A and B are shown apart, each in its own frame.
Chain A
Amino acid sequence: MFNLVKYTIKRILQLIPVLLGVSLVVFLIMRVFSPDPAPVVLGQHASKAAMKAWRDAHGLNAPIVLQFLDFLKGALTGNFGNSYYTNQPVMNEIMARFPATIELAICSIILASILGILLGVTAAVKKNTAADFASTLVALIGVSMPIFWLGILLIILFSGVLRILPSGGRINPMLQPVGGTGFYIWDTLTSGDFEALGDTLRHLIMPTVSLSLYSMAIITRMTRSSMLDTLNQDYIRTARAKGISEHRVIKHHALRNAMIPVTTVIGLQFGSLLGGAVLTETVFAWPGIGSYTVECIQKSDFPVVQAVVLIIATIYVIVNLVVDLIYAFLDPRIKYSKEEG
């Protein structure tokens, strides 16, 4: 147990250089290698003096090292400056959109995990049957189909042809919860507004399905191969030889052990979901940070982009850390060293 604590502390300390590095990479891309934002923000026809004044006002004429230190200092205190366009603090802009993305990502990872594990286990247990073939096919389609195209197909079918689901947005504006956390499922549930809850869920279906397909495919593959590995182990043979029912062998002996590597994959997938949200949100006009980031990159709103990338990277490394710790906790064979690479 002591080792686990030591391991945890060590891993948390390792995050610091990684996050510093991410800040540096983002800063280099946006502030050093990117073209001057002034003509984009002010328009091509703004005067030289106006551009210089604008750059001064936004600290872009300061020495680059100072700019970086300023950015780091801001990042530590949650102050990322103001958006070039709205002049609102970047943090406010992001927090207004963040719940939408997180709600979508959580729904997607839940759907992907449930379906992926079910398909993967079925495929492994009924190896070389139609069920196995079907799950392999789903996994293949999942990794081969662009998620934005899947979203488009869903819209064509369910909004265009069948007309049963809304093609975009998060909720009917008339039903939008006021105040609250910004997580509409939670807000509508706690306020008991079931009409709004229903509408929220109807809006969530297609974005969730299209965002989850890729991760579901990866989880299915991982579950299947991990389960097959486990089913070949001696202790499973022993359990079977003892006369334990096949159902019990699978549920109590194999599944638990097979799930250990799957948890890691699910954690990794959560990060890639946040990236995939960029595309899904664009397709479904989902008012989250993904579509907002694309918009801000296109109009050179650097403070926003820097903040978003840093925040997403932070979430990503923290989720991975948590997953690693769960993994270390579940699997006593892990030695708390760095040899896993």
Chain B
Amino acid sequence: MNEIENAVAASPNEEFTDKPESIWRSMWDSLKQNRAAMVSLVFILLLVAIAVITSAFPQVLPHNPYEQSLTKTLLPPNSEYWFGTDQLGRDIFSRILIGTRVSLAVGVIAVAISLTFGIIFGSIAGYFGGKVDTVIMRIMDIMLSIPSILLAIAFMAALGQGIDKAVIAISLVAIPEYARIVRGEILSVKENDYVQAAKVVGNKDGRIIFHHILPNVLSSIIVRATLGISSAILDASALGFLGLGVQPPQAEWGDMLGRARNYIFQAPYTLIFPGLAISLTVLAFNLLGDGLRDALDPKSRQN
């Protein structure tokens, strides 16, 4: 099967080299041409760096993000407090930096969880078809018929407050979407000759799914996952905004917005910077996801 895949992936002029150009290589080459996607990638790497460094060495932050000061509440942005201070006198800039870790972690972990279950359910439904397919997809339809934010809030009511529970709620509501995509992809490759061949040779179902089918739909799953991170970050910030996210005094961008809401006219800057942080992060993942999709599918690039 590897030979077949390689033969398909190899471009004609590299026919005789030992290692034919892989799909990843050509994807990267094409992604490099996309300026918006590359800028986003750099921005995301920067966010990762901020998250890692501020977690490992909190002393690099300009101020202690948790230190309250009653004499310094709601200061407008100035040379010492770049983004101003919040209602408890904490430095907003430091809180945004330290909050990067929470948002990125929530995005990545939530997608990892929902993707895992989505792949399991979607593969089983798509591969086996019939009754199993009907049952799984009906359950997914049921979940999809409740607006996801409402379902997530309901899950939070059951699970209780906390960022770990928010991650679970966000992952649960995203499973159906991934299951649908994976199922669709599996249906589209299931009838291919190489899958049939693998069956004829006597491979087990699990092996066929994991070794022969999934690698071929991996690229489109990666695109979905990248875009999924952005919606997970948005959902987490929404839960945070409603007061269902992190426990105080932890810093999370949506939570910062929710708590500063009463000072909207008195201190609008407390609401501008955290929102900007969410929007830019989500925008970067969206642009990168779009770029990856275009890189994989030259047809959509022409549009």
Task: List the interface of chain A (C-beta within 8 A of B).
Answer: 17-18, 21-22, 25-26, 29-30, 33-35, 140-141, 143-146, 148-149, 152-153, 155-156, 159-160, 167, 225, 228, 271-272, 274-276, 278-279, 282-283, 293-294, 297-298, 300, 305, 308-309, 312-313, 316-317, 320, 341
Contacts and interface: CB of A to CB of B under 8 A. Distances in A.
B279 A25 contact: no
Nearest to A21: B142
A309 B238 contact: no
A34 B158 contact: yes
Contact of B146 (A140, A149, A282, A312): A312
B268 A160 contact: yes
9 contacts: A21-B139, A140-B286, A144-B279, A146-B278, A271-B145, A278-B150, A278-B153, A279-B241, A293-B153
A341 B184 contact: yes
Given A35-B160, A294-B153, A316 B138 contact: no
A341 B183 contact: yes
A228 B303 CA distance: 7
B37 to A, nearest CB: 12
B157 A34 contact: yes
B142 A225 contact: no
Contacts of A279: 149, 238, 241-242
Given A146-B238, A278-B153, A18 B148 contact: no
Contacts of B261: 152, 283
Given A146-B254, A156-B271, A160-B268, A275 B242 contact: no
B119 interface: no
B155 interface: yes
B157 A153 contact: no
B124 interface: no
Nearest to A300: B157
Interface residues of B, number: 47
B154 interface: yes
A316 B151 CA distance: 13
Given A144-B230, A279-B242, A294-B242, A313 B146 contact: yes
A155 B286 contact: no
B150 to A, nearest CB: 5
A18 B138 contact: yes
A100 to B, nearest CB: 17
Given A18-B138, A282-B242, A146 B279 contact: yes
A152 B264 contact: yes
A18 B157 CA distance: 23
A29 B157 contact: yes
Given A153-B275, A300-B157, 19 more contacts: A18-B142, A26-B154, A29-B155, A29-B157, A143-B230, A146-B237, A146-B275, A146-B282, A149-B278, A156-B264, A156-B271, A159-B265, A275-B148, A275-B150, A278-B149, A297-B154, A305-B157, A312-B147, A313-B146
B153 A341 contact: no
Interface string B226-244: 0000100010011001110
B271 A30 contact: no
Contacts of A140: 283, 286-287
Most A CB atoms within 10 A — which of B141, B143, B183?
B141
Contacts of A274: 147, 150
Contacts of B90: none
B154 A309 contact: yes
B137 interface: yes
B275 A141 contact: no
B180 interface: yes
A313 B183 contact: no
A17 B145 CA distance: 12
Contacts of B225: none
Q: Which 7 A-B pairs have the closest CB atoms?
A: A275-B147, A149-B275, A21-B142, A144-B283, A33-B158, A34-B158, A297-B157
Contacts of B157: 29-30, 34, 297-298, 300, 305
A293 B151 CA distance: 11
Contact of A156 (B145, B268, B287): B268
B257 interface: yes
B287 to A, nearest CB: 7
A297 B287 contact: no
Contact of B153 (A35, A153, A297): A297
Nearest to A294: B242
Nearest to A275: B147
B156 interface: yes
A300 B156 CA distance: 11
A145 B149 contact: no
